[in-house]
Amino acid sequence: MFSIVGKIKDVLIAILAILLPVLYILGRNDGGLKAKTDTLADDLDAQNKVSDFYKAMAEDAEDFNPTNRSDLTDRLRRTGL
C-alpha cells in the first residue's frame, strides 16, 4: 500500500527530527563561545583605550609646565582640556 518513496520520506523526516535538537544544542554552545569571545575582545579594546589615554595624560603632564596665564590659555586653545 505504501510506496518506497513514502518510506524514504518517512525515514528522512525521522532522521531530521532526531538531528534537530542535537544541532540546536551545538549551535547554542558555539554561539555562546562566540559571544564570550566578542565580549572579551571588547573588554580588551576598552582596556587598551584607557591605558593609551592615561599614557597620553602622563606624557602631557610631563611636557607642560605653565609659567603664566597666557601659557595656560594657549595650551587650552590648542589642545583643549
pLDDT in tens, 47-78: 999 999 888 888 766 666 778 888 888 878 88
pTM of the full structure: 0.47
Q: Measure the CA–CA gap between 8 and 13, rounded to whole angstroms.
A: 9
> What cell was used for 56?
597620553
Contact criterion met (CB below 8 Å) for 66 and 75: yes
pLDDT in tens, 14-32: 999 999 998 888 888 888 8
> What cell was used for 51?
591605558
> What cell was used for 61?
603632564
Q: Measure the CA–CA gap between 9 and 70, rounded to whole angstroms.
A: 86
Each domain of the chain, given as residue ranges in start order, spans 4-64
